[in-house]
Amino acid sequence: MEWRMAPPGMAGAAGTVVAGLLAGGHEAYFVGGCLRDELLGRPVHDIDITTSALPEEVMSLFPRCVPTGLAHGTITVLQEGYSLEVTTYRTESGYADHRRPEHVVFVRDVREDLRRRDFTINAICCGLDGGRIDPFGGERDLKLRVIRCVGEAEERFEEDALRMLRCVRFASVLDFAIAKNTWRGLLRQRDKLAHIAVERVRAEVERILEGPHPQRGLGLLLRSGLLPRGKAPFPWTGRDLAAAAARLAGLGNLESARLRWALLMHALGSSAQCADELLRAWTFPGATRTGVVAVLRVREAWDAALLSARPEASGAGERLRRRWIAAVLGQGQSAAEGWLTVLEAAGADTASPVTTSLLRSWTAEMPIRTLAELAVSGHEVTAALEKRPGPWLGVLLNQLLLAVAAGDLANDNQLLLQAAQRMDRDE
Ligand code: ATP
Ligand code: MG
Protein backbone atom coordinates (compact mmCIF):
# COMPACT_ATOMS: atom_id res chain seq x y z
CA MET A 1 0.00 0.00 0.00
CA GLU A 2 1.43 3.33 -1.11
CA TRP A 3 0.18 6.19 1.05
CA ARG A 4 0.14 9.58 -0.63
CA MET A 5 -1.88 11.48 1.97
CA ALA A 6 -0.50 10.12 5.26
CA PRO A 7 2.68 11.44 6.88
CA PRO A 8 5.43 9.03 5.78
CA GLY A 9 6.42 8.20 9.36
CA MET A 10 2.86 7.28 10.27
CA ALA A 11 2.40 5.20 7.13
CA GLY A 12 5.66 3.39 7.91
CA ALA A 13 4.64 2.68 11.50
CA ALA A 14 1.19 1.44 10.44
CA GLY A 15 2.86 -0.80 7.83
CA THR A 16 5.14 -2.26 10.51
CA VAL A 17 2.14 -3.07 12.72
CA VAL A 18 0.18 -4.73 9.92
CA ALA A 19 3.29 -6.71 8.88
CA GLY A 20 3.79 -7.77 12.52
CA LEU A 21 0.21 -9.06 12.75
CA LEU A 22 0.57 -10.94 9.46
CA ALA A 23 3.85 -12.48 10.64
CA GLY A 24 2.04 -13.60 13.79
CA GLY A 25 -0.32 -15.61 11.60
CA HIS A 26 -3.26 -13.16 11.69
CA GLU A 27 -5.11 -11.10 9.13
CA ALA A 28 -4.78 -7.32 9.28
CA TYR A 29 -5.91 -4.36 7.16
CA PHE A 30 -5.90 -0.59 7.14
CA VAL A 31 -9.52 0.45 7.57
CA GLY A 32 -12.09 3.22 7.74
CA GLY A 33 -11.52 6.96 7.60
CA CYS A 34 -7.87 6.67 6.55
CA LEU A 35 -8.82 4.90 3.31
CA ARG A 36 -11.70 7.25 2.65
CA ASP A 37 -9.38 10.24 2.99
CA GLU A 38 -6.52 8.64 1.05
CA LEU A 39 -8.85 7.83 -1.86
CA LEU A 40 -10.28 11.36 -1.76
CA GLY A 41 -6.83 12.92 -1.68
CA ARG A 42 -7.46 14.51 1.72
CA PRO A 43 -4.86 14.54 4.49
CA VAL A 44 -4.89 11.35 6.57
CA HIS A 45 -4.70 12.14 10.29
CA ASP A 46 -4.64 8.65 11.69
CA ILE A 47 -4.45 5.13 10.36
CA ASP A 48 -6.68 2.54 12.02
CA ILE A 49 -6.04 -1.17 11.71
CA THR A 50 -8.54 -4.02 11.84
CA THR A 51 -7.34 -7.55 12.56
CA SER A 52 -8.44 -11.11 13.17
CA ALA A 53 -6.06 -11.23 16.16
CA LEU A 54 -7.71 -11.13 19.58
CA PRO A 55 -6.74 -8.25 21.88
CA GLU A 56 -4.45 -10.47 23.99
CA GLU A 57 -2.74 -11.67 20.82
CA VAL A 58 -2.20 -8.09 19.68
CA MET A 59 -0.71 -7.23 23.08
CA SER A 60 1.58 -10.23 23.01
CA LEU A 61 2.95 -9.20 19.60
CA PHE A 62 3.69 -5.57 20.49
CA PRO A 63 5.53 -4.77 23.70
CA ARG A 64 4.47 -1.14 23.78
CA CYS A 65 0.70 -0.87 23.78
CA VAL A 66 -2.22 0.48 25.78
CA PRO A 67 -5.47 -1.46 26.26
CA THR A 68 -7.56 1.59 25.28
CA GLY A 69 -10.87 -0.18 24.74
CA LEU A 70 -10.11 -3.74 25.69
CA ALA A 71 -13.76 -4.80 26.05
CA HIS A 72 -14.46 -3.54 22.52
CA GLY A 73 -11.29 -5.06 21.16
CA THR A 74 -9.26 -1.88 20.70
CA ILE A 75 -5.57 -1.79 21.57
CA THR A 76 -3.43 1.27 20.95
CA VAL A 77 -0.03 0.15 19.68
CA LEU A 78 2.84 2.59 20.15
CA GLN A 79 5.14 2.24 17.20
CA GLU A 80 7.96 4.47 15.93
CA GLY A 81 6.52 7.42 17.85
CA TYR A 82 2.97 6.98 16.54
CA SER A 83 -0.13 5.59 18.27
CA LEU A 84 -2.11 3.24 16.10
CA GLU A 85 -5.50 1.82 17.01
CA VAL A 86 -5.72 -1.89 16.34
CA THR A 87 -9.21 -3.36 16.70
CA THR A 88 -10.24 -6.98 16.52
CA TYR A 89 -12.87 -7.85 13.88
CA ARG A 90 -16.15 -7.55 15.70
CA THR A 91 -19.87 -7.17 15.39
CA GLU A 92 -22.12 -5.22 17.67
CA SER A 93 -25.65 -5.75 18.82
CA GLY A 94 -28.23 -4.77 21.42
CA TYR A 95 -27.61 -1.04 21.39
CA ALA A 96 -28.52 0.48 24.76
CA ASP A 97 -29.95 4.01 24.69
CA HIS A 98 -29.54 4.24 20.93
CA ARG A 99 -25.84 4.70 21.32
CA ARG A 100 -23.72 1.97 22.93
CA PRO A 101 -23.70 -1.63 21.75
CA GLU A 102 -24.32 -3.95 24.71
CA HIS A 103 -22.76 -6.96 23.06
CA VAL A 104 -19.53 -6.99 21.17
CA VAL A 105 -18.66 -10.28 19.54
CA PHE A 106 -15.28 -10.93 17.98
CA VAL A 107 -15.62 -12.52 14.56
CA ARG A 108 -13.33 -14.24 12.05
CA ASP A 109 -14.39 -12.53 8.82
CA VAL A 110 -13.33 -8.99 7.98
CA ARG A 111 -16.55 -8.50 6.00
CA GLU A 112 -18.55 -8.95 9.18
CA ASP A 113 -16.49 -6.19 10.73
CA LEU A 114 -17.03 -3.90 7.76
CA ARG A 115 -20.79 -4.48 7.97
CA ARG A 116 -21.02 -2.90 11.46
CA ARG A 117 -19.52 0.37 10.18
CA ASP A 118 -21.71 3.38 9.56
CA PHE A 119 -21.31 4.49 5.94
CA THR A 120 -20.12 2.75 2.79
CA ILE A 121 -17.25 5.22 2.39
CA ASN A 122 -16.08 4.29 5.93
CA ALA A 123 -16.37 0.54 5.32
CA ILE A 124 -13.43 -0.04 3.00
CA CYS A 125 -10.27 -1.83 4.06
CA CYS A 126 -6.97 -2.41 2.35
CA GLY A 127 -4.15 -4.89 2.78
CA LEU A 128 -0.42 -4.28 2.94
CA ASP A 129 -0.24 -5.26 -0.75
CA GLY A 130 -2.76 -2.53 -1.67
CA GLY A 131 -5.62 -4.95 -2.35
CA ARG A 132 -8.93 -3.47 -1.23
CA ILE A 133 -11.98 -5.12 0.29
CA ASP A 134 -15.07 -3.04 -0.33
CA PRO A 135 -18.23 -5.12 -0.01
CA PHE A 136 -20.69 -2.20 0.11
CA GLY A 137 -19.52 -0.10 -2.82
CA GLY A 138 -17.68 2.52 -0.79
CA GLU A 139 -15.36 3.41 -3.63
CA ARG A 140 -18.27 3.85 -6.00
CA ASP A 141 -19.92 6.16 -3.45
CA LEU A 142 -16.70 8.14 -3.09
CA LYS A 143 -16.80 8.69 -6.86
CA LEU A 144 -20.51 9.53 -6.75
CA ARG A 145 -19.83 11.78 -3.76
CA VAL A 146 -22.61 10.37 -1.66
CA ILE A 147 -23.04 9.35 1.98
CA ARG A 148 -24.91 6.06 2.19
CA CYS A 149 -25.51 3.84 5.20
CA VAL A 150 -24.20 0.31 5.24
CA GLY A 151 -27.40 -1.73 5.28
CA GLU A 152 -30.83 -0.41 6.23
CA ALA A 153 -30.50 3.29 7.10
CA GLU A 154 -33.41 3.48 9.47
CA GLU A 155 -32.10 0.53 11.47
CA ARG A 156 -28.56 1.86 11.54
CA PHE A 157 -29.68 5.26 12.85
CA GLU A 158 -31.91 3.63 15.40
CA GLU A 159 -29.02 1.51 16.71
CA ASP A 160 -26.81 4.53 17.14
CA ALA A 161 -28.39 7.95 16.83
CA LEU A 162 -25.04 9.72 16.72
CA ARG A 163 -24.66 8.37 13.18
CA MET A 164 -27.27 10.88 12.02
CA LEU A 165 -25.02 13.76 12.94
CA ARG A 166 -21.99 11.97 11.54
CA CYS A 167 -23.97 11.65 8.32
CA VAL A 168 -24.62 15.39 8.20
CA ARG A 169 -21.03 16.09 9.21
CA PHE A 170 -19.50 13.95 6.46
CA ALA A 171 -21.93 15.38 3.87
CA SER A 172 -21.00 18.88 4.98
CA VAL A 173 -17.24 18.53 5.39
CA LEU A 174 -16.83 16.50 2.19
CA ASP A 175 -19.55 18.42 0.34
CA PHE A 176 -21.24 15.13 -0.53
CA ALA A 177 -24.89 14.38 -1.20
CA ILE A 178 -26.85 12.06 1.08
CA ALA A 179 -28.42 8.99 -0.52
CA LYS A 180 -32.21 9.13 -0.66
CA ASN A 181 -32.81 6.13 1.55
CA THR A 182 -30.23 7.30 4.04
CA TRP A 183 -31.87 10.70 4.27
CA ARG A 184 -35.31 9.15 4.61
CA GLY A 185 -34.04 6.88 7.40
CA LEU A 186 -32.51 9.86 9.14
CA LEU A 187 -35.76 11.82 9.04
CA ARG A 188 -37.64 8.84 10.46
CA GLN A 189 -35.20 8.41 13.34
CA ARG A 190 -34.41 12.02 14.12
CA ASP A 191 -36.23 12.01 17.47
CA LYS A 192 -33.61 9.54 18.70
CA LEU A 193 -31.08 12.33 18.86
CA ALA A 194 -32.55 13.02 22.31
CA HIS A 195 -30.52 10.02 23.53
CA ILE A 196 -27.14 11.43 22.58
CA ALA A 197 -24.90 13.20 25.09
CA VAL A 198 -24.66 16.93 24.54
CA GLU A 199 -20.88 16.88 24.17
CA ARG A 200 -21.05 14.33 21.36
CA VAL A 201 -23.58 16.47 19.52
CA ARG A 202 -21.53 19.59 20.15
CA ALA A 203 -18.37 17.93 18.81
CA GLU A 204 -20.10 17.01 15.54
CA VAL A 205 -21.71 20.44 15.16
CA GLU A 206 -18.32 22.04 15.79
CA ARG A 207 -16.77 20.00 13.01
CA ILE A 208 -19.64 21.02 10.71
CA LEU A 209 -19.40 24.72 11.49
CA GLU A 210 -15.62 24.78 11.50
CA GLY A 211 -15.26 22.72 8.33
CA PRO A 212 -14.86 23.93 4.75
CA HIS A 213 -18.61 24.06 3.92
CA PRO A 214 -20.35 25.35 7.05
CA GLN A 215 -23.28 26.72 5.11
CA ARG A 216 -24.01 23.42 3.50
CA GLY A 217 -23.90 21.86 6.96
CA LEU A 218 -26.25 24.45 8.41
CA GLY A 219 -28.66 23.86 5.56
CA LEU A 220 -28.61 20.12 6.21
CA LEU A 221 -29.00 20.59 9.96
CA LEU A 222 -31.94 22.83 9.27
CA ARG A 223 -33.66 20.44 6.88
CA SER A 224 -32.95 17.45 9.10
CA GLY A 225 -34.63 19.07 12.09
CA LEU A 226 -32.07 17.30 14.27
CA LEU A 227 -30.88 20.01 16.63
CA PRO A 228 -34.19 20.99 18.23
CA ARG A 229 -34.57 17.29 19.09
CA GLY A 230 -31.28 17.04 20.98
CA LYS A 231 -30.82 17.32 24.75
CA ALA A 232 -29.20 20.75 24.57
CA PRO A 233 -31.33 23.90 24.53
CA PHE A 234 -32.05 25.20 21.05
CA PRO A 235 -34.03 28.41 21.44
CA TRP A 236 -34.62 29.05 17.76
CA THR A 237 -37.19 28.03 15.22
CA GLY A 238 -36.32 26.55 11.87
CA ARG A 239 -37.21 29.91 10.38
CA ASP A 240 -34.69 31.74 12.59
CA LEU A 241 -32.02 29.32 11.51
CA ALA A 242 -33.00 29.57 7.84
CA ALA A 243 -32.91 33.36 7.97
CA ALA A 244 -29.56 33.32 9.74
CA ALA A 245 -28.08 30.73 7.37
CA ALA A 246 -29.09 32.85 4.39
CA ARG A 247 -27.20 35.82 5.83
CA LEU A 248 -24.01 33.92 6.56
CA ALA A 249 -22.35 34.43 3.20
CA GLY A 250 -18.94 35.19 4.68
CA LEU A 251 -18.96 32.43 7.28
CA GLY A 252 -16.62 30.10 5.44
CA ASN A 253 -14.04 32.87 5.03
CA LEU A 254 -13.57 33.25 8.77
CA GLU A 255 -10.42 31.47 9.85
CA SER A 256 -11.15 31.16 13.52
CA ALA A 257 -13.74 28.95 15.17
CA ARG A 258 -14.46 31.69 17.70
CA LEU A 259 -15.47 34.10 14.96
CA ARG A 260 -17.61 31.54 13.16
CA TRP A 261 -19.58 30.92 16.32
CA ALA A 262 -19.78 34.65 17.00
CA LEU A 263 -21.11 35.26 13.50
CA LEU A 264 -23.68 32.50 13.88
CA MET A 265 -24.87 33.83 17.23
CA HIS A 266 -24.95 37.33 15.77
CA ALA A 267 -27.00 36.20 12.78
CA LEU A 268 -29.37 34.37 15.11
CA GLY A 269 -29.82 37.58 17.06
CA SER A 270 -28.49 36.22 20.36
CA SER A 271 -27.41 38.64 23.04
CA ALA A 272 -23.98 38.13 24.62
CA GLN A 273 -25.71 36.93 27.75
CA CYS A 274 -27.86 34.44 25.89
CA ALA A 275 -24.86 33.16 23.89
CA ASP A 276 -22.94 32.72 27.13
CA GLU A 277 -25.67 30.56 28.65
CA LEU A 278 -26.18 28.61 25.47
CA LEU A 279 -22.54 27.83 24.85
CA ARG A 280 -22.22 26.73 28.46
CA ALA A 281 -25.23 24.43 28.13
CA TRP A 282 -23.72 23.09 24.91
CA THR A 283 -20.56 22.18 26.89
CA PHE A 284 -18.19 24.39 24.94
CA PRO A 285 -14.77 24.80 26.54
CA GLY A 286 -14.56 27.99 28.60
CA ALA A 287 -11.98 29.59 26.33
CA THR A 288 -14.18 29.32 23.24
CA ARG A 289 -17.19 30.55 25.13
CA THR A 290 -15.54 33.62 26.62
CA GLY A 291 -13.96 34.43 23.27
CA VAL A 292 -17.31 34.36 21.49
CA VAL A 293 -19.04 36.29 24.24
CA ALA A 294 -16.38 39.04 24.27
CA VAL A 295 -16.94 39.57 20.54
CA LEU A 296 -20.69 39.87 21.09
CA ARG A 297 -20.11 42.30 23.97
CA VAL A 298 -18.17 44.55 21.62
CA ARG A 299 -21.20 44.47 19.34
CA GLU A 300 -23.48 45.45 22.21
CA ALA A 301 -21.21 48.27 23.36
CA TRP A 302 -20.96 49.60 19.83
CA ASP A 303 -24.70 49.27 19.12
CA ALA A 304 -25.41 51.22 22.30
CA ALA A 305 -22.94 53.90 21.18
CA LEU A 306 -24.61 54.19 17.78
CA LEU A 307 -28.05 54.40 19.37
CA SER A 308 -27.07 57.34 21.53
CA ALA A 309 -24.94 59.01 18.85
CA ARG A 310 -27.25 61.86 17.71
CA PRO A 311 -25.21 62.44 14.54
CA GLU A 312 -26.54 66.00 14.11
CA ALA A 313 -25.08 67.19 17.43
CA SER A 314 -21.61 68.73 17.37
CA GLY A 315 -18.76 66.48 18.39
CA ALA A 316 -20.77 63.36 17.53
CA GLY A 317 -17.85 61.74 15.69
CA GLU A 318 -15.49 62.31 18.58
CA ARG A 319 -17.98 60.88 21.05
CA LEU A 320 -18.31 57.79 18.91
CA ARG A 321 -14.55 57.43 18.71
CA ARG A 322 -14.33 57.47 22.51
CA ARG A 323 -17.11 54.92 22.84
CA TRP A 324 -15.28 52.66 20.41
CA ILE A 325 -12.04 53.04 22.32
CA ALA A 326 -13.85 52.24 25.57
CA ALA A 327 -15.24 49.08 23.95
CA VAL A 328 -11.77 48.04 22.77
CA LEU A 329 -10.42 48.56 26.29
CA GLY A 330 -13.37 46.81 27.88
CA GLN A 331 -13.33 43.62 25.80
CA GLY A 332 -9.77 43.62 24.50
CA GLN A 333 -8.30 44.37 21.13
CA SER A 334 -8.68 40.84 19.85
CA ALA A 335 -12.43 40.77 20.58
CA ALA A 336 -12.82 44.21 18.99
CA GLU A 337 -10.98 43.21 15.84
CA GLY A 338 -12.92 39.96 15.85
CA TRP A 339 -16.14 41.91 15.88
CA LEU A 340 -15.08 43.99 12.87
CA THR A 341 -14.16 40.84 10.97
CA VAL A 342 -17.54 39.32 11.86
CA LEU A 343 -19.31 42.49 10.79
CA GLU A 344 -17.56 42.45 7.42
CA ALA A 345 -18.27 38.74 6.94
CA ALA A 346 -21.92 39.34 7.77
CA GLY A 347 -22.02 42.00 5.05
CA ALA A 348 -21.50 45.13 7.15
CA ASP A 349 -24.45 47.42 7.62
CA THR A 350 -23.98 50.10 4.95
CA ALA A 351 -26.32 52.44 6.82
CA SER A 352 -23.84 52.73 9.70
CA PRO A 353 -22.30 56.22 9.92
CA VAL A 354 -18.90 54.71 10.69
CA THR A 355 -17.15 52.20 8.42
CA THR A 356 -15.24 49.24 9.76
CA SER A 357 -12.06 50.68 8.26
CA LEU A 358 -12.52 53.87 10.29
CA LEU A 359 -13.03 51.73 13.40
CA ARG A 360 -9.88 49.82 12.54
CA SER A 361 -7.91 53.03 12.21
CA TRP A 362 -9.26 54.28 15.55
CA THR A 363 -7.99 51.07 17.12
CA ALA A 364 -4.64 51.33 15.36
CA GLU A 365 -4.13 54.90 16.59
CA MET A 366 -4.58 53.99 20.24
CA PRO A 367 -1.17 54.53 21.91
CA ILE A 368 -1.93 51.79 24.48
CA ARG A 369 -4.64 49.16 24.81
CA THR A 370 -4.21 47.55 28.23
CA LEU A 371 -3.70 48.55 31.85
CA ALA A 372 -0.37 46.73 31.78
CA GLU A 373 0.93 49.31 29.30
CA LEU A 374 -0.08 52.27 31.46
CA ALA A 375 3.05 54.08 32.72
CA VAL A 376 1.79 54.07 36.29
CA SER A 377 1.02 51.24 38.70
CA GLY A 378 -1.82 50.90 41.15
CA HIS A 379 0.75 50.91 43.88
CA GLU A 380 2.17 54.28 42.78
CA VAL A 381 -1.32 55.77 42.59
CA THR A 382 -2.30 54.66 46.11
CA ALA A 383 1.00 56.00 47.44
CA ALA A 384 0.60 59.38 45.70
CA LEU A 385 -2.98 59.80 46.91
CA GLU A 386 -2.20 58.41 50.37
CA LYS A 387 -5.30 56.22 50.19
CA ARG A 388 -5.91 52.57 50.94
CA PRO A 389 -6.48 50.45 47.86
CA GLY A 390 -10.11 49.68 47.14
CA PRO A 391 -12.57 49.48 44.27
CA TRP A 392 -11.92 53.17 43.53
CA LEU A 393 -8.45 52.24 42.32
CA GLY A 394 -9.64 50.11 39.43
CA VAL A 395 -12.08 52.82 38.39
CA LEU A 396 -9.37 55.45 38.47
CA LEU A 397 -6.81 53.37 36.58
CA ASN A 398 -9.40 52.67 33.88
CA GLN A 399 -10.15 56.40 33.62
CA LEU A 400 -6.44 57.02 33.12
CA LEU A 401 -6.25 54.23 30.58
CA LEU A 402 -9.14 55.66 28.61
CA ALA A 403 -7.59 59.13 28.69
CA VAL A 404 -4.26 57.83 27.38
CA ALA A 405 -5.86 55.51 24.84
CA ALA A 406 -8.01 58.34 23.49
CA GLY A 407 -4.97 60.60 23.18
CA ASP A 408 -5.97 63.14 25.90
CA LEU A 409 -2.99 62.39 28.06
CA ALA A 410 0.59 61.30 27.37
CA ASN A 411 1.59 57.95 28.81
CA ASP A 412 4.05 59.52 31.26
CA ASN A 413 4.42 58.52 34.88
CA GLN A 414 4.47 62.03 36.38
CA LEU A 415 1.66 63.34 34.20
CA LEU A 416 -0.46 60.33 35.06
CA LEU A 417 0.06 60.78 38.79
CA GLN A 418 -0.93 64.45 38.50
CA ALA A 419 -4.01 63.46 36.51
CA ALA A 420 -4.85 60.86 39.14
CA GLN A 421 -4.75 63.53 41.84
CA ARG A 422 -6.99 65.77 39.77
CA MET A 423 -9.46 63.00 39.10
CA ASP A 424 -9.49 62.04 42.75
CA ARG A 425 -10.23 65.63 43.80
CA ASP A 426 -13.02 65.97 41.24
CA GLU A 427 -14.54 62.72 42.45
P1 ATP B 1 -12.74 11.19 11.38
O2 ATP B 1 -11.63 10.61 12.20
O3 ATP B 1 -12.32 12.16 10.34
O4 ATP B 1 -13.89 11.65 12.20
P5 ATP B 1 -13.34 8.49 10.81
O6 ATP B 1 -14.15 7.83 9.73
O7 ATP B 1 -11.95 8.02 10.99
O8 ATP B 1 -13.39 10.02 10.51
P9 ATP B 1 -13.74 7.73 13.53
O10 ATP B 1 -14.75 8.24 14.51
O11 ATP B 1 -12.30 7.94 13.78
O12 ATP B 1 -14.16 8.36 12.13
O13 ATP B 1 -14.06 6.19 13.35
C14 ATP B 1 -13.25 5.30 12.63
C15 ATP B 1 -14.12 4.31 11.87
O16 ATP B 1 -14.96 3.60 12.78
C17 ATP B 1 -15.07 4.96 10.88
O18 ATP B 1 -14.45 5.16 9.63
C19 ATP B 1 -16.18 3.93 10.80
O20 ATP B 1 -15.82 2.85 9.97
C21 ATP B 1 -16.26 3.41 12.21
N22 ATP B 1 -17.22 4.17 13.05
C23 ATP B 1 -16.96 5.24 13.82
N24 ATP B 1 -18.05 5.66 14.47
C25 ATP B 1 -19.03 4.81 14.13
C26 ATP B 1 -20.41 4.70 14.48
N27 ATP B 1 -20.98 5.56 15.33
N28 ATP B 1 -21.12 3.69 13.94
C29 ATP B 1 -20.54 2.81 13.09
N30 ATP B 1 -19.26 2.87 12.72
C31 ATP B 1 -18.51 3.86 13.22
MG1 MG C 1 -10.65 8.66 12.61
Q: What percent of the chain has pLDDT over 90?
A: 85
| Dist. CA 390–CA 415, nearest whole Å | 22
Nearest CA to ligand 1 atom 18: 32
Question: Separation of 137 CA from ligand 2 center, angstroms?
Answer: 20
Cβ proximity of 374 and 400 under 8 Å: yes
pLDDT confidence of residue 240: 87
Cβ proximity of 261 and 295 under 8 Å: no
- Asked if pLDDT for residue 427 goes beyond 80, the answer is no
The answer, as to whether pTM is greater than 0.95, is no
Cβ proximity of 417 and 381 under 8 Å: yes
pLDDT confidence of residue 350: 63
Cβ proximity of 65 and 76 under 8 Å: yes
**What would you measure as the largest C-alpha separation in the chain, in angstroms?**
88
Query: What does CATH list as the number for 145-232?
Result: 1.10.110.30
**Which of 122, 141, 160, 189, when mutated, tests ligand 1's pocket best, judged by the most ligand atoms within 8 Å of its CB?**
122
Label residue 349 by pLDDT band (50, 70, 90).
Answer: low
**Which atom number of ligand 1 is nearest to the Cα of residue 163?**
27
Label residue 420 by pLDDT band (50, 70, 90).
Answer: very high
From-to residues of CATH 1.10.246.80 in the chain = 372-426
Label residue 348 by pLDDT band (50, 70, 90).
Answer: low
pLDDT confidence of residue 189: 98
Rounded mean pLDDT of the chain?
Answer: 95
Nearest CA to ligand 1 atom 10: 33
For ligand 1, say whether the CB of 160 is within 6 Å of any of its atoms.
yes
Spell out the SS3 assignment of the chain.
Answer: CCCCCCCHHHHHHHHHHHHHHHHCCCCEEEECHHHHHHHHCCCCCCCEEEECCCHHHHHHHCCCEEEEEHHHCEEEEEECCEEEEEEECEEEEEEECCCEEEEEEECCCHHHHHHCCCEHHHCCEECCCCCEECCCCHHHHHHHCEECECCCHHHHHHHCCHHHHHHHHHHHHHCCEECHHHHHHHHHHHHHHHHCCHHHHHHHHHHHHHCCCHHHHHHHHHHHCCHHHCCCCCCCCHHHHHHHHHCCCCHHHCCCHHHHHHHHHHHCCCCHHHHHHHHHHCCCCHHHHHHHHHHHHHHHHHHHHHHCCCCCCCCHHHHHHHHHHHHHHHHCHHHHHHHHHHHHHCCCCCCCCCCHHHHHHHHHHCCCCCHHHCCCCHHHHHHHHCCCCCHHHHHHHHHHHHHHHCCCCCCCHHHHHHHHHHHHHHC
Label residue 351 by pLDDT band (50, 70, 90).
Answer: low
What is the architecture of the domain spanning 1-138? Answer: 2-Layer Sandwich (3.30)
| Dist. CA 196–CA 361, nearest whole Å | 47
**372-426 CATH, one of 1.10.3720.10, 3.30.70.360, 3.30.2350.10, 1.10.246.80:** 1.10.246.80
- Section 4-31 average pLDDT: 98
Question: Which phi and psi (to 5°) does residue 107 adopt?
Answer: -125, 170
Nearest CA to ligand 1 atom 12: 33
From-to residues of CATH 3.30.460.10 in the chain = 1-138
Label residue 353 by pLDDT band (50, 70, 90).
Answer: confident
Higher pLDDT, 348 or 389: 389
**Which atom number of ligand 1 is nearest to the Cα of residue 114?**
20
For ligand 1, say whether the CB of 163 is within 6 Å of any of its atoms.
yes
